[in-house]
Every structure is written in structure tokens, then in C-alpha cells.
């Protein structure tokens, strides 16, 4: 038995953002709080959002623009204060995963009527949520279609996770104009995050035919479009496909889970502050290799969306899994040439003496439960040592 749930209304394509006013109207939203960060603001994307709402005189917008790359409970509480001061009635999160997760967490605080998000860690959410629209400006996390919000508790160096079906956005708007200004390095890191969602969902012990379909297509779209978008950031069609791929990968993993690669990445982010996409790039080939003992054939299946029918057909069945890992490594080498996206912990500037703490945190991370092979501390430490070189 499995459950597959995704209630997010998706609007995707050229000028999709122009639908925002209609969607707010449908949600009976009159006083939205836009939650965003400085990068998005400086790139002029909030102006673009405001422009699409010009003429709708019933809508009063407030803006909170101080979300950091790794959002925290303090940021959430501050943004919730802005929501209340301005008597807002809904949220539009315009940004990457950190911004959208912050938006979800702010929605918890203002809907449940508490002052501090940490009061609700581990609690069941009881009140109806405010209308929530997600407008991703990266093509990576898939947070626009997931029901989780991840924050970083900087006091304890750990990630704090809030998960509830109530956190699903009502609407996600994927407009390639919103990812156009992403520099090549961020484009690559976020797309590899999406690739790791798709691949980990595909090999997860909770995989199902629906998550497989989303994951399979996402792998294909990322492989076909990422390099062309890095070479030409204005390639709108490529940006469109990457945005859709990230969203599909998000829908896949929110229903089947991610595994070891993410457990290591969450731990590395918590302990060393390594950006999530960088960690995914480092750990993805190692995670696939480690899981080969249990799901070799399934890893081999991913060669088809990754490299296409010719390479797939030419590779003997028993060699397809190794070829998949080899192709991921070659893909990452190409990305390194173009963007310098780190492939090893050393390239990412991680200190070797932090590996024990990372391994300890990784085996306690929630993602580890969905990994097809049970991971011990020694296994995790060994992978970290391999990933260091
Ligand atoms: Fe991720």
C-alpha cells in the first residue's frame, strides 16, 4: 500500500506569473505578505510580482525581505511579526527553498496563533492555514510542492523539520523569468539538488509507480537541459524544463522520501554550513554506489532517462548501475568545468575533523529511514572519508 498526495495547483510556463492576481482572488486574499530575500529583491523580481498585481486595487501588499540562505526560527518569528503588524491575510513566498520554507513556517505561526515557531516543534497543527502561494526563483528544492519546512537551529547546529499536509502551498507558479538571473553556480547546485530528489525517490524503500513516473521524467529533463542553461542563462525553454523537473522531483520525494544522500547533506549543512545543493553534488554518486548492494537493477534503470535509449541499450544489464554512477560523475565533472561546483568535501572547504560529527548526525537524520540499505555509523563515516578526496 502507498499514499500519493499532492494538492498544489500548478501554473507553469511563459508569463505564468500573470495569473497571480486571479489566483489571489480565487483564494480571497486581499492583504498578502510577500516573503523574500535580498538577492531576489535586488534582481528586481519583487518589482515584477508587484507589476503583475498593478490595477488590482483591492490588493494591499506588504513585504518581508530579510530571509537568509539558511533560515532560522528567529527569522520566522520576525516575519510573522511583520505579517501581524500589517494585518496580512495570506502569504506569497518568492524565492528559493529557504524562502518558501520560511513562508510555510510563518504560516504555522500566524495560523496557530503562537509567538515562537519552536513552541510547535513536533506538535500536530490544528488550525486552518492562511492562503499560500509559492513562486520559486530557483529550480531545485521543489519546496513549492512539498509539505515540509526545514529551518536551521544555529544554537544546536541541527536542522529542524516541520512536516504536515497542511503546509502544502495552495498554488505554485513556475515562470522562467523568475530563474533567469540565477548565476551558473547556483543553477547547477540547485538542479543537482533536484536530481538527487529524483534519484533518491526512485531508489527509496517507499518508491511507488507514481513517484517513479515523476522522478524518471525529472532525471531526463535535468540531464537534457542543465548544461544548455548554464551555457546560456537566457535559455527560457531550458529554464522552463528545469523548473518543471525540480517541481516533479519535489512531488516524487515528498511521497516516497529521500535517503542517505540527503541524510549526509542535512548533517553536513548543520555541522559545517555547506549549502544543500553543494552537499548533494558531493554525496550523490557515493549514495548510489553504497546502495548498489540492494537496488542495483533499479539504479541501472535510471541510465535510460540519464543518457537516453542508445547508451542504455548498448550497456549490458549487469553494467547499467555502474554506468549510471559513472555518467553522474562525468556530468558533475562537466559542471565543475563550467561552474566550479565542488565535487569533494575538500573542494568544499570542509575540515576533516568535522566528519565524525557529520556521520553521527547523518545516521539520526529522518531521511535515513527511507534509504534502501540500513546505514551504520561506520558506513556513514567511510562514505564521508571517500567523499573527502
Ligand atoms: Fe534536497
In a domain, 2, yes or no: no
Of 9, 51, 21, the residue nearest 174 (C-alpha): 9
- Span from the CA of 266 to the centroid of ligand 1 (angstroms): 9
pTM to 2 decimals? 0.95
Instruction: Say which CATH number the domain at 16 has.
Output: 3.40.50.1970
Asked whether residue 73 falls in the same domain as residue 166, the answer is yes
Domain termination site, one of 178, 213, 240: 178
- Span from the CA of 258 to the centroid of ligand 1 (angstroms): 8
Q: How far apart, in Å, are the Cα atoms of 169 and each of 90, 144, 230?
A: 11, 6, 29
Asked whether residue 240 falls in the same domain as residue 334, the answer is yes
- Span from the CA of 141 to the centroid of ligand 1 (angstroms): 6
- Span from the CA of 251 to the centroid of ligand 1 (angstroms): 12
In a domain, 159, yes or no: yes
Domain termination site, one of 162, 178, 194: 178
- Span from the CA of 98 to the centroid of ligand 1 (angstroms): 11
Tally of domains within the chain: 2
Asked whether residue 86 falls in the same domain as residue 140, the answer is yes
- Span from the CA of 193 to the centroid of ligand 1 (angstroms): 5
Asked whether residue 123 falls in the same domain as residue 250, the answer is no
- Span from the CA of 143 to the centroid of ligand 1 (angstroms): 9
In a domain, 1, yes or no: no
* Chain segment 211-267, per-residue pLDDT in tens: 999 999 999 999 999 999 999 999 999 999 999 999 999 999 999 999 999 999 999
Residue 183: CB atoms within 10 A of its CB come to: 12
In a domain, 4, yes or no: no
What's the pLDDT at 70? 85
- Span from the CA of 210 to the centroid of ligand 1 (angstroms): 19
Mean pLDDT of the chain: 96
Domain of residue 172: give its range. Answer: 9-178
Q: Maximum distance among all alpha carbons in the chain?
A: 63
- Span from the CA of 97 to the centroid of ligand 1 (angstroms): 9
What percent of the chain is predicted at pLDDT more than 70? Answer: 100
Asked whether residue 224 falls in the same domain as residue 127, the answer is no
Asked whether residue 217 falls in the same domain as residue 254, the answer is yes
Asked whether residue 208 falls in the same domain as residue 64, the answer is no
* Chain segment 251-281, per-residue pLDDT in tens: 999 999 999 999 999 999 989 989 999 999 9
- Span from the CA of 261 to the centroid of ligand 1 (angstroms): 9
- Span from the CA of 262 to the centroid of ligand 1 (angstroms): 6
- Span from the CA of 267 to the centroid of ligand 1 (angstroms): 12
* Chain segment 111-168, per-residue pLDDT in tens: 999 999 999 998 899 999 999 999 999 999 999 999 999 998 878 777 788 999 999 9
Domain termination site, one of 137, 162, 178: 178
Amino acid at each position: 500500500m502507498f499514499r500519493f498526495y499532492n494538492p498544489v495547483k500548478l501554473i507553469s510556463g511563459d508569463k505564468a506569473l500573470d495569473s497571480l492576481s486571479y489566483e489571489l482572488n480565487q483564494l480571497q486574499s486581499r492583504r498578502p505578505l510577500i516573503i523574500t530575500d535580498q538577492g531576489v529583491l535586488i534582481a528586481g523580481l519583487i518589482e515584477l510580482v508587484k507589476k503583475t498585481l498593478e490595477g488590482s486595487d483591492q490588493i494591499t501588499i506588504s513585504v518581508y525581505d530579510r530571509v537568509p540562505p539558511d533560515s532560522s526560527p528567529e527569522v520566522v518569528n520576525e516575519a510573522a511579526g511583520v505579517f501581524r503588524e500589517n494585518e496580512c491575510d495570506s502569504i506569497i513566498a518568492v524565492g528559493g527553498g529557504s524562502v518558501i520554507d520560511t513562508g510555510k513556517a510563518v504560516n504555522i505561526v500566524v495560523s496557530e496563533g503562537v509567538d515562537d515557531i519552536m513552541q510547535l516543534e513536533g506538535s500536530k497543527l490544528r488550525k486552518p492555514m492562511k492562503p499560500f502561494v509559492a513562486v520559486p526563483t530557483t529550480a531545485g528544492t521543489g519546496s513549492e510542492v512539498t509539505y515540509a519546512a526545514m529551518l536551521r537551529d544555529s544554537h544546536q547546529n541541527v536542522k529542524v523539520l516541520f512536516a504536515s499536509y497542511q503546509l502544502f502551498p495552495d498554488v505554485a507558479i513556475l515562470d522562467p523569468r523568475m530563474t533567469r538571473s540565477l548565476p551558473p553556480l547556483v543553477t547547477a547546485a540547485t538542479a543537482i539538488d533536484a536530481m538527487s530528489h529524483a534519484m533518491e525517490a526512485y531508489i527509496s524503500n517507499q518508491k511507488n509507480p507514481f513517484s517513479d513516473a515523476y522522478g524518471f521524467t525529472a532525471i531526463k529533463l535535468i540531464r537534457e537541459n542543465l548544461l544548455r542553461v548554464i551555457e546560456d542563462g537566457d535559455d527560457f525553454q531550458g529554464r522552463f524544463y528545469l523548473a518543471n523537473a525540480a517541481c516533479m522531483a519535489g512531488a516524487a520525494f515528498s511521497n516516497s522520501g529521500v535517503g542517505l544522500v540527503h541524510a549526509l547533506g542535512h548533517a553536513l549543512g548543520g555541522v559545517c554550513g555547506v549549502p544543500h545543493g553543494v552537499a548533494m553534488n558531493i554525496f550523490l554518486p557515493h549514495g548510489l554506489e553504497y546502495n548498489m548492494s540492494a537496488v542495483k537493477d533499479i539504479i541501472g534503470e535510471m541510465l535510460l532517462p540519464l543518457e537516453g535509449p542508445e547508451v542504455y541499450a548498448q550497456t549490458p544489464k549487469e553494467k547499467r548501475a555502474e554506468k549510471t554512477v559513472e555518467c553522474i560523475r562525468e556530468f558533475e565533472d562537466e559542471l565543475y568545468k563550467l561552474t566550479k561546483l565542488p565535487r569533494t568535501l575538500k573542494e568544499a572547504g570542509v575540515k576533516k575533523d568535522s566528519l565524525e560529527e557529520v556521520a553521527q548526525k547523518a545516521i539520526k537524520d529522518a531521511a535515513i529511514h527511507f534509504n534502501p540499505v540500513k546505514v551504520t555509523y561506520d558506513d556513514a563515516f567511510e562514505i564521508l572519508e571517500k567523499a573527502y578526496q
